[in-house]
A = this chain, B = another copy of it.
Amino acid sequence: MQAILFDVFGTVVDWRSSLIAQFQALSAELGRELPAETLTDQWRGHYAPSMDQVRSGALPWTVLDDLHRASLVALLAQHGISLDDAMVDRITRFWHRLEPWPDTVDGLRRLQERFVIGTLTNGNLALMVDVKRHAGLPWDVLFCADLFQHYKPDPQVYLGACRLLGLPPQKVMLCAAHNYDLHAARALGLRTAFVPRPKEYGPGQRKDLAAEADWDVVADDLVDLDRKLRDAASA
């Protein structure tokens, strides 16, 4: 194996806590109570359906920033919250300021000693550059949906990244906290690593609490992934 690509939202960064904190800070700044947790969870609820509209062809190619903005506008209307365009733009960019999980940066640095590390994300590149800089993620390379104009789990994303790396899928591992993503990767020949993030969706999370298949590696977090890959290499 030569490269490990990572899902980002949920696997590498804690989007939910990061968004809630930013909504709460904005509430304080505006002197106006915004329902931070509800807005965050409902906003994320639009995520998969909005990408499915692109994947099905109902919408032309649209980057995630623009899907986020459109779903935010709908959500604010639903809650009767009126904000001007500049504020809607600013809130849309909450997704550019996400915090890493506690193990993320250390784990990535260790893995980077032996492997090329990069993103394989449905986020657009402009978003992912900001997340990289904000969270201090030491990526070698960013693979983002807008390079391929496809969203995961479309095969073009996984195979496009392998092609650009000049590697056969067997030399590339996807690391994700989501079983659906790993299923798609495995079907195309990539290796797979599952890292559960049981608090990604908050206290009531019910999906992706455990591996749903015999993934090549199942690790507690990214530091543990590095440890397990080193153990396997020296075994």
The interface of chain A, by Cβ under 8 A from chain B, is 65, 116, 124-126, 129, 132-133, 140-142, 144, 146-147, 164-167
Give chain B residues whose Cβ lies under 8 Å from the Cβ of A124: 164, 166
Q: Are A125 and B65 in contact (CB under 8 A)?
A: no
Q: Would you give the shortest CB distance from A197 to chain B, in whole angstroms?
A: 25
Residue of B116, B125, B165 touching A141 (CB-CB under 8 A): B125
| Interchain CA distance A146-B162 in the complex, whole Å | 13
Q: Would you give the shortest CB distance from A185 to chain B, in whole angstroms?
A: 19
- In the complex, residue of chain B having the shortest beta-carbon distance to the beta carbon of A163: B146
Give chain B residues whose Cβ lies under 8 Å from the Cβ of A126: 164-167
Residue of B65, B147, B166 touching A65 (CB-CB under 8 A): B166
- In the complex, residue of chain B having the shortest beta-carbon distance to the beta carbon of A160: B147
Q: Are A164 and B147 in contact (CB under 8 A)?
A: yes
- Given the known interface contacts A65-B166, A147-B164, A166-B65, the answer about A132 and B140 at a Cβ–Cβ threshold of 8 Å is yes
Give chain B residues whose Cβ lies under 8 Å from the Cβ of A166: 65, 124-126
- In the complex, residue of chain B having the shortest beta-carbon distance to the beta carbon of A125: B164
Give chain B residues whose Cβ lies under 8 Å from the Cβ of A144: 164
| Interchain CA distance A133-B113 in the complex, whole Å | 10
Residue of B141, B146, B167 touching A142 (CB-CB under 8 A): B141
| Interchain CA distance A133-B167 in the complex, whole Å | 17
Q: 3 tightest A-B contacts by CB? A: A126-B166, A125-B164, A129-B141
Give chain B residues whose Cβ lies under 8 Å from the Cβ of A140: 129, 132-133
| Interchain CA distance A5-B141 in the complex, whole Å | 15
| Interchain CA distance A147-B129 in the complex, whole Å | 16
Q: Are B125 and A165 in contact (CB under 8 A)?
A: yes
- Given the known interface contacts A116-B129, A116-B133, A133-B116, the answer about A164 and B141 at a Cβ–Cβ threshold of 8 Å is no
